[in-house]
Structure 1
């Protein structure tokens, strides 16, 4: 069965995530190695500190570490994907899972990315559910400083930009729900240009190997194994849109029959179900999920 592994990003975190994995030697070694790189304990935060877990600076590394452990445990069972994709932060796990860079390199990148994004203070983001896509496109085209940051499905997007610009767009369209997100800045928009420039300097010397399985990138959802292309795509990701709807639509085109959401939450699986008919969606976020997958 051709299978995609998909990795959730910020917003899927939950207190207690990954804690049932600590009894597994491979997982504990990864938690220990992460602590050496980060200078703080992923276990302590995921187990005890809901406030820190909601802080971008900590959220992103915690998700990366736990999702990476799940990848290693899946591979330990002899499983490999036919294609990988990750939503925003999740793309780093996808690249690591595909062998583009190793766990340590990815965690260093995620650590710096999270710190830069945590410093962002301009603008905001709002999720829109139930809207007319052409009406939204017209409103954004007529409003300065607003873009679609996450194109998740036909019925759900996230817009990002200036606070005034977002308010203008929302006032001009009919929308079932408009939900302001609790984020520090306008992620995946041109307002993140400074953070993107600084991150680009850190990313430049990092070697990206060709992937061992195709990767669907956020900003260019066409499957590729080319390390140079994947690096260019990641360089654009902080200011570029997450084109998840298009990623989902690519799965049946690639012959994918099953999608495994590797990490906490069921957001990506739900989006894939609503976008693609006939793809079986499986959740792997706990030790029990891993054991069920084996049976």
Structure 2
């Protein structure tokens, strides 16, 4: 953990992700020059950021641009934790894998889509120092965004809102017959699945009350770290702190054990199984059904 950077309070920085397709059937710059192709590229990048930065609360796409032979994406980070998660995903190859999977699906390619990447902050090539997380974070923070969000991004975002039938709440996409692999369905609506956030943990701890053990055992069906003995130990260890802390530690233990597999959809499914639909609605920020 880059503690020195994390302790600095308000945090903003900018990085540019450069992409070059190695797939002969998908030239990114040609796609960018086509209106429909540009929209698909925007969706690919947005889905990738959701995968790699834990959602879109901590980052924002500012601009897409032609950086021949690369396709460039300028990203503003407003949360150091989101930036750190993105860097860790980039370093592990998860960002490249996410781009490849989403592009292959959205472009309906018959072959595997592979992409070459480069990440820069100002004049610094971050690929050269990915093993020094704090240095990368500092270089991104020292490269504040020099622009507001491009009007082109506003147009793409507006089209995306129209496509999802009337601008539903964040992270919600329209009901479709086939649920994509990176989504889950709740109350006949489809939501993009993402890694659980600190806000999710707090909402869960505030609302679950005495049912936290029941939810824990339900999650424990597929998580070894939440077997009955572990839940009993949490109840004993945090008995003095009360129900909020017990529930908070439960979900924190789940995230710690499962890593990027600790997805929102798994928690929502557990809440449904425990008949805690109202809490699921609260976490997803959707209006309860009549």
State TM-score, norm by structure 2. Answer: 0.29
Query: Which has the higher Rg, Structure 1 or Structure 2?
Result: 2
State TM-score, norm by structure 1. Answer: 0.29
The structure showing larger relative contact order (alpha-carbon pairs under 8 Å, at least 6 residues apart) is 1
